[in-house]
Amino acid sequence: MLWTRLLLSLGCCLTSAAAVADPGYYVVTAYDNAGLRSLNLRYWTVKARDRVETVWPELGFAYGVNSRWTTEIFASWIGASNRPTQLSSWNWSNDLLLTQGELPVDVALHTQLIRNRLGERETVIEFGPVLQTDLGRTQ
């Protein structure tokens, strides 16, 4: 039984698609932000060896709708160190806190709607769980 599970897990890992991430991916945390408004500026850079540096600034507005729901609308630009940036996408993210201290791990749902402005101008929906806990003085 153990070998069957192990082989099945290994098979799933080997046949899964490769994960691809843009340089702007970041850790999502789930907090009670009721009524909090914030202006967010993020600036990412990626430089591979023997390549031009990619720059990725983002500017957004976030609002804590209530104690369990935070929403943010932001714009992302992309460029290189040797050329100007251009608008890459409009984004709308939502974090819904499902548990709030009732369990050893706080659980939230993160969703993000992305409207790409470059290339094929596709719309993408990302979603997934957020798991957060305290380990001593570390969160």
pLDDT at 100: 84
More confident residue, 5 or 115: 115
Check: CB of residue 46 under 8 Å from CB of residue 24. no
**Does residue 3 register a pLDDT over 60?**
yes
**Entry pTM:** 0.73
Q: Look over the chain and give the mean of its residue pLDDT values, rounded to a whole number.
A: 83
Two tokens at 64? 């804590």
pLDDT digits (tens, 9 = 90+) for 88-97: 999 999 999 9
What residues does each domain of the chain span?
A: 33-132
pLDDT digits (tens, 9 = 90+) for 28-69: 676 778 999 999 999 988 888 998 999 989 999 999 999 999
What's the CA angle centered on 35, arms 31 and 39, to 5 degrees?
80
